Amino acid sequence: MGFGGNSQQLLSKIATNDKHGENSPYFDGWKAYDRNPFHPKNNPQGVIQMGLAENQLCFDLIEEWIRNNPKASICTPEGVHQFRNIANFQDYHGLQKFRNAMANFMSKVRGGRVRFDPDRILMSGGATGANELIMFCLADPGDAFMIPTPFYPGFVRDLCWRTGVKLIPVHSDSSNNFKITREALEEAYKKAKEDNINVKGLLITNPSNPLGTTLDKDTLKSLVSFINEKNIHLVCDEIYAATVFSSPNYVSVAEVIQEVEHCKRDLIHIIYSLSKDMGFPGFRVGIVYSFNDEVVNCGRKMSSFGLVCSQTQHMLASMLSDENFVTTFIEENSRRLKKRHDKFMKGLEEVNITRFPSNAGLFCWMNLKSLLKEPTFEDELKLWRVIIHEVKLNVSPGSSFNCSEPGWFRVCFANMDDETVDVALNRIRAFVGRETKKPVGIKRWQQNLRLNFSSRIFDETTVIMSPHSPIPTSPLVRAT
């Protein structure tokens, strides 16, 4: 049964290529978690999910607000009189009060140091949709965007899959603290030109995923100068803006352009979302904020393909214009993230695991180079598989972030409760303890490359799951 001939040929190239990113080896981690998910009571030996950058620390604040503000819902007796107006509203401009509230929130997150114009706020299907939308506006198929490594793996799908845009990595490494240097940018740009690739812009994530750091003002200024000089666009994904928990203070590109002389604002675009700062990725609130009028006009029309649900707009219009709530939330969110971060770092320090010092984000960038036999990506993956199957933690290997040096791992810490953090730290302590008791040069885990468990056999070359059974909790499925 089926088409006469190869059914694959009857789908488009986009449909049949791999740019959706799900056929990558990193899915082993998700598989392991799915088969054996940790639960404090029901499955305390299960795999702990530390690969999901979610913010679960402040739901109580939001729930309380919702309970106290029944009018913000169109389904409660207090709010149902608004039901038909809201249910019927599909104007791609978005509710004015929603845009006002978003502009207000974005400004507060940046300490009020910059004001945002509600008329420049465009909606999209989460930051996933926003990043794709801005590419459609700025680049043609075959054009390229420069992007510093390490970067969020989902970018390959978001920026390239349906747009046909290429990514040009701009490498950084620990030798200079993963700084994005002018030299690295110039080199990448030059090489692209030599290869006849049309570079349309530079995309940065600030605060950084996976590094968990904010860019200092000078670096930001130098990036702005660079793109001005080359006359290319700058897209700043500021999705983690409110997860900054310690100094240095956050500097948004919106602040910097006020200070750079002769800055061509038409080149500057910000991507935002509430998925990380507020912890509700399920509500799909993505924002494109552009300083370029044409992009705003065109992007607004494109937002029809991924509008924010009017029910959600209505609720957020109230929530985010509640000054008291916003101020309290931002402060408390920051405080709880710091507490969680500090607890986790202390645990790592106790076993001499170093990590990249961070002041933002929902994760830490852990340095496990000392546990690699050889500083190679093969060994990184081998170590990773051991961490999944023996230590039972799903963490993300640096190579999945296109990191240019092996041995780094991103570990998320804000998507669980305190007790689970303790369990995770205990497991790490036990593992490192075992490793450090051995004779130098021979790591125990390397003698057991083929790991056998009573009911499961893991082959190192286990492939990637079938395209017909994607892992429900994988990062790409969750667009995280």
* Catalytic residue list: 152, 237, 239, 276
Which of 30, 152, 226, 280 contacts another protein by CB under 8 A?
Answer: 280
Region class of 111: left (phi > 0), else alpha (psi between -120 and 50), else beta: left
Cβ-based nearer residue to another protein, 60 or 183: 60
Residue 254: both structure tokens together: 């919106």
Task: Compute the least distance from the CB of residue 414 to another protein, in Å.
Answer: 12
Which of 41, 437, 450, 468 contacts another protein by CB under 8 A?
Answer: 468
> In the window 29-68, what residues touch another protein (CB under 8 A)?
54, 56, 59-60, 62-63, 66
Pairing of strands 354-355, 396-397: unpaired
293 contributes a contact to another protein by CB under 8 A: no
How many angstroms separate the CA atoms of 215 and 89, rounded? 39
128 contributes a contact to another protein by CB under 8 A: yes
Which of 231, 324, 447, 455 contacts another protein by CB under 8 A?
Answer: 231
> In the window 294-333, what residues touch another protein (CB under 8 A)?
294-295, 298, 301-302, 304-312, 315
89 contributes a contact to another protein by CB under 8 A: yes
192 contributes a contact to another protein by CB under 8 A: no
Task: Compute the least distance from the CB of residue 100 to another protein, in Å.
Answer: 18
Task: Compute the least distance from the CB of residue 81 to another protein, in Å.
Answer: 8
> In the window 160-179, what residues touch another protein (CB under 8 A)?
161-162
With beta carbons less than 8 A apart as the criterion, state whether 123 and 339 touch.
Answer: no
470 contributes a contact to another protein by CB under 8 A: yes
With beta carbons less than 8 A apart as the criterion, state whether 199 and 180 touch.
Answer: no
How many angstroms separate the CA atoms of 344 and 192, rounded? 41
With beta carbons less than 8 A apart as the criterion, state whether 334 and 244 touch.
Answer: yes
Task: Compute the least distance from the CB of residue 370 to another protein, in Å.
Answer: 35
Task: Compute the least distance from the CB of residue 298 to another protein, in Å.
Answer: 4
> In the window 409-438, what residues touch another protein (CB under 8 A)?
none
Cβ-based nearer residue to another protein, 21 or 347: 21
Count interface residues toward another protein (CB under 8 A): 90
Residue 84 CB neighbour total at 10 angstroms: 10
Q: Is 34 exposed, middle or buried (0-12, 13-18, 19+ CB in 10 A)?
A: middle
Side by side, which strands form the sheet with 396-397? 354-355, 363-367, 408-412, 396-397
> In the window 139-158, what residues touch another protein (CB under 8 A)?
139-141, 143, 157-158
Cα angle vertex 195, ends 191, 199, to 5°? Answer: 70
Task: Compute the least distance from the CB of residue 305 to another protein, in Å.
Answer: 5
Phi, psi of 352 (to 5 degrees): 55, 30
| Whole-Å CA distances, 118 to 242, 280, 343, 356, 369 | 19, 22, 39, 36, 46
Which of 47, 215, 317, 476 contacts another protein by CB under 8 A?
Answer: 476
